[in-house]
Structure 1
Amino acid sequence: MPPFDPPRTVAPSRSPAWQKNVSIWLKGFLPAPLTVDTSEQWRAIVGAMLGIVITAVLCRLCASPETAMWLIAPLGATAVLVFAVPASPLAQPWAVVGGNTVSALMGVLCVQLIHDPALAAGVAVAAAVVTMFALRCLHPPGGAAALLAVLTQASSLDFVLFPVLTNSVLLVLVGIVYNTATGRRYPHGQGVERVHTPKSRFSSADLDEVLKRYNQVLDVSRDELENILHMAEMNAMERRMSELRCEDIMTRTVFTVEYGTDLQEAWALMRRHRVKALPVVDRQRRIIGIISLADFMRHADVDRSDHMRERLNLLIKRSGNSHTTKPEAVGQIMCSKVRVVSADRSVGELMPIFSEHGHHHIPVICDDNRLVGIITQSDFVRALYRSGGVQG
């Protein structure tokens, strides 16, 4: 008999780390998915077309016969920013006008001072970036405006005023009118008042600290970034709440009473277990009502008397008579209209029940309508905390 040869476990093959890193690096070349719908794309397309057409027509009318250039190519890139991403700091009026104009000025100065076109081109673009950073008007097409001045050997300051400055101002004016008319805030103020959101898990100071450590230029304004983060946080909370079911948060140990339970016994049960409501069930544990602390207070008529304790004791104490008009059993003072929820119902649907309808205790039933648990306001608040809806 051959010797016993135990089965050998074959370890799953794993790709080397370098292959994984290369794969991630190559995926970086893939275009990111669009986050705007078709209507927003068409809004940007029509705006860019109108902006260039109106600017070109007006500048052509203003140009003299000897003017060699009345429209600059970098304005096409500017139009993309102004109409496609009007919230970007790089697309704001000062960024457009200041960025293009000072960059063109750097290009003209480099043409005058540096005779080698290649060196002049590099210095012009670098000087444009330095100047735009210093003047807080960073605008990518500005680099192209500086390069254009060198390539066309524009040595006169007239090039800066016309067409660069004129083109930029006209396009910004069209952008203001068009973006406002189509429901986009432009100019998009960068120094907006910061509103503290109590339910948020991060503050404006937290965001500022992270941006400082990130230390890169973002193509989104700070206030828009904060709003996006808050909306993402709320969306995440709503998603987590919708994923939670009532059976996930309910209290499973439920103290109940029946229709004929003495008021004194029900009151003692509430006091002993420190609960404010007791579901009333039949012998099959089906809900027929609920009795709460408010029911005891209402029937004791405590609102009309300063002697609360005496009135309450009078209500719950057994009279000992076979016939009496005083309520003796739970069924005589309970609320028969009970709001119940099924165990598989989403917790997110409980929000209006607790917040708008004034409910404090909601019995939970299974498929055959039997009582399986109860959800109190404390259970619901605890679920909100777990989902991230309440600041810790």
Structure 2
Amino acid sequence: MIVPPPPHQKSGFLPRFKLFSPILAGATLKERLIGCLGALIGICLTGLVCGFVFGDDPQLPLIVAPIGASAVLLFAVPASPLAQPWSIVGGNTISALIGVTVSYLVKDQMLAIGLAVALAILAMSLTRSLHPPGGASALTAVIGGAAVARAGYWFPFIPVAINSLILVALGIVFHRLARRQYPHRPAVAPVNTHQTADPPPALRVGFTSEDIDEAIARLNETLDISREDIDALLREVELQALVRQRGELTCADIMSRDVVTVPNDATPDQARSLLLKHDIRTLPVLDENEKLQGTVGLRELAGKELDGKLPITVAATAKPSDPAIGLLPRLTDGKIHAVVVLDGDGKVAGIISQTDLLATLAKSLSQNGPSEIMHGNGQGI
């Protein structure tokens, strides 16, 4: 029997190459164009600044070739652990130091170039500064020519370290202006805010940290992503799958609409009286235009003077059209008891408490669908 080829193969040819298909997850055309612009600005300004510092006729190059590779990581994949400031500055400088040392001690150049790169990888790994262009920095220190040889141990600092520092500084400024996070901050794992031995609610079901460690070990690969980001990504996948399965319910469907609020000029005693009277835990605080300014709860009011200023905290907010199931991470983090729903004008349209969401989920699961909705009985209970 003749087995037909898979749909993506015809007459023995390989799958058609997709020219604009991203290699890395999240690498949209917009992100790549931003990266190109960042590399253009970063490299040009690094060369310009170094030219100003070194003068018109420097003995060493104004900018070393590995900085071009550093720019690719810094501007194209700024979330990579290999593209963080210490990786760029430390990796390039330490590797150049290794290369200079090897060039002094090993006279056979073929052996020297291999040892320089190998020892650079080891040194970067031990100092948590692994940076692929560091291998090129080590190699340049060995085969860089007479100018590098004359510079000796100055070469790792001028121009390598200076190039790296300037590039990182420009990268931080560029990413801030582009409203991108750099340096990358790994996602913070959920913690138990009640100071007990129990794991936080988000970690009591589903996969565990040990599951992630086991999966990474079974893959037998080194991944260009931090373990914390893997954890955050998998939990976001879980949430998106839940939203897809039960995303028909919106915040408008389950929110409490008769919201008890407090003006921002109220006293702590007035806010506490409202919380106790209505048996709720969170009050939206409104300004004179009835716009949300924040929230206040019994926890914030504890120990405050009766006639002092309200201890307002930043409110967790959502839109009426947002999937209600998407509030799960915020309402189970042990810190937030209610999410304020805002209309298009920034005014309070409703509020969703932990009780509201729990009752809705219970009803939805029991009926295997969102056809009937059970509302909670209060805000922030």
- Kindly indicate whether the alpha-carbon contact (under 8 Å) linking 1:179 and 1:185 is maintained by their aligned counterparts in 2: yes
Separation (CA, whole Å) in 2 of partners of 1:136 and 1:49 = 28
Separation (CA, whole Å) in 2 of partners of 1:124 and 1:68 = 20
Count residues with an aligned counterpart.
Answer: 251
- Kindly indicate whether the alpha-carbon contact (under 8 Å) linking 1:190 and 1:223 is maintained by their aligned counterparts in 2: yes
Q: What's the offset of the Cα at 1:227?
A: 2.1
The corresponding residue for 1:59 is: 50
Instruction: Give the AA of the match of 2:363.
Output: Q
For 1:130-169, list aligned pairs within 5 A.
130-153=122-145, 154-155=148-149, 156-169=152-165
Q: What's the offset of the Cα at 1:38?
A: 2.8
Separation (CA, whole Å) in 2 of partners of 1:49 and 1:67 = 25
Match of 1:73 among 56, 65, 68: 65
Separation (CA, whole Å) in 1 of partners of 2:190 and 2:66 = 35
Using CA pairs under 8 Å that are at least 6 residues apart, name the structure with larger relative contact order, 1 or 2. Answer: 1
Structure 2: runs of 5+ lacking an equivalent? 192-199, 249-322, 328-351, 371-381
- Kindly indicate whether the alpha-carbon contact (under 8 Å) linking 1:70 and 1:162 is maintained by their aligned counterparts in 2: no
Percent of residue pairs identical: 37
The corresponding residue for 1:173 is: 169
| Pairwise CA RMSD | 4.0
Q: What's the offset of the Cα at 1:30?
A: 8.0
- Kindly indicate whether the alpha-carbon contact (under 8 Å) linking 1:78 and 1:96 is maintained by their aligned counterparts in 2: yes
1:87 aligns with 2:79: yes
- Classify the secondary structure of the residue corresponding to 2:155: helix
- Kindly indicate whether the alpha-carbon contact (under 8 Å) linking 2:187 and 2:232 is maintained by their aligned counterparts in 1: no
Q: What's the offset of the Cα at 1:74?
A: 0.8
The corresponding residue for 1:33 is: 21
Separation (CA, whole Å) in 2 of partners of 1:123 and 1:140 = 16
Indicate how the Cα distance of structure 1 residues 234 and 191 shifts in structure 2: closer, same or farther if over 3 A, else same. closer
Q: What's the offset of the Cα at 1:103?
A: 0.7
Q: What's the offset of the Cα at 1:44?
A: 1.1
Match of 1:45 among 24, 30, 36: 36
Post-superposition CA distance 1:343-382 (Å, at most 9, x none): xxxxx89999xx89989999xxxxxxxxxxxx99264575
- Kindly indicate whether the alpha-carbon contact (under 8 Å) linking 1:92 and 1:188 is maintained by their aligned counterparts in 2: yes
- Kindly indicate whether the alpha-carbon contact (under 8 Å) linking 2:70 and 2:133 is maintained by their aligned counterparts in 1: yes
The corresponding residue for 2:296 is: none
Indicate how the Cα distance of structure 1 residues 62 and 350 shifts in structure 2: closer, same or farther if over 3 A, else same. closer
Q: What's the offset of the Cα at 1:191?
A: 8.3
TM-score (norm 1): 0.54
Indicate how the Cα distance of structure 1 residues 223 and 112 shifts in structure 2: closer, same or farther if over 3 A, else same. same
Post-superposition CA distance 1:96-125 (Å, at most 9, x none): 111001111111112111222221111110
Separation (CA, whole Å) in 1 of partners of 2:221 and 2:190 = 21
Moved more, 190-199 or 49-58: 190-199
Indicate how the Cα distance of structure 1 residues 359 and 378 shifts in structure 2: closer, same or farther if over 3 A, else same. same
Q: What's the offset of the Cα at 1:221?
A: 2.4
The corresponding residue for 2:258 is: none
- Kindly indicate whether the alpha-carbon contact (under 8 Å) linking 2:38 and 2:171 is maintained by their aligned counterparts in 1: yes
Q: What's the offset of the Cα at 1:236?
A: 2.1
For 1:181-330, list aligned pairs within 5 A.
181-190=177-186, 192-195=188-191, 196=200, 197=202, 201-241=206-246
Post-superposition CA distance 1:296-333 (Å, at most 9, x none): xxxxxxxxxxxxxxxxxxxxxxxxxxxxxxxxxxxxxx
Separation (CA, whole Å) in 1 of partners of 2:107 and 2:358 = 82
Separation (CA, whole Å) in 2 of partners of 1:359 and 1:160 = 58
1:97 aligns with 2:93: no
The corresponding residue for 2:363 is: 377
Separation (CA, whole Å) in 2 of partners of 1:104 and 1:351 = 49
- Kindly indicate whether the alpha-carbon contact (under 8 Å) linking 2:190 and 2:203 is maintained by their aligned counterparts in 1: no
- Kindly indicate whether the alpha-carbon contact (under 8 Å) linking 1:89 and 1:190 is maintained by their aligned counterparts in 2: no
Indicate how the Cα distance of structure 1 residues 13 and 192 shifts in structure 2: closer, same or farther if over 3 A, else same. closer
Separation (CA, whole Å) in 2 of partners of 1:175 and 1:349 = 38
Indicate how the Cα distance of structure 1 residues 131 and 361 shifts in structure 2: closer, same or farther if over 3 A, else same. closer
Q: What's the offset of the Cα at 1:60?
A: 1.0
Indicate how the Cα distance of structure 1 residues 124 and 191 shifts in structure 2: closer, same or farther if over 3 A, else same. farther
The corresponding residue for 1:114 is: 106
- Kindly indicate whether the alpha-carbon contact (under 8 Å) linking 2:51 and 2:62 is maintained by their aligned counterparts in 1: yes
TM-score (norm 2): 0.56
- Kindly indicate whether the alpha-carbon contact (under 8 Å) linking 2:99 and 2:137 is maintained by their aligned counterparts in 1: yes
Separation (CA, whole Å) in 2 of partners of 1:134 and 1:72 = 24
Separation (CA, whole Å) in 1 of partners of 2:16 and 2:106 = 38
Post-superposition CA distance 1:238-278 (Å, at most 9, x none): 333469xxxxxxxxxxxxxxxxxxxxxxxxxxxxxxxxxxx
- Kindly indicate whether the alpha-carbon contact (under 8 Å) linking 1:83 and 1:175 is maintained by their aligned counterparts in 2: yes
- Greater CA radius of gyration, 1 or 2? 1
Indicate how the Cα distance of structure 1 residues 378 and 239 shifts in structure 2: closer, same or farther if over 3 A, else same. closer
- Kindly indicate whether the alpha-carbon contact (under 8 Å) linking 1:86 and 1:188 is maintained by their aligned counterparts in 2: yes
Instruction: Give the AA of the match of 1:171.
Output: L
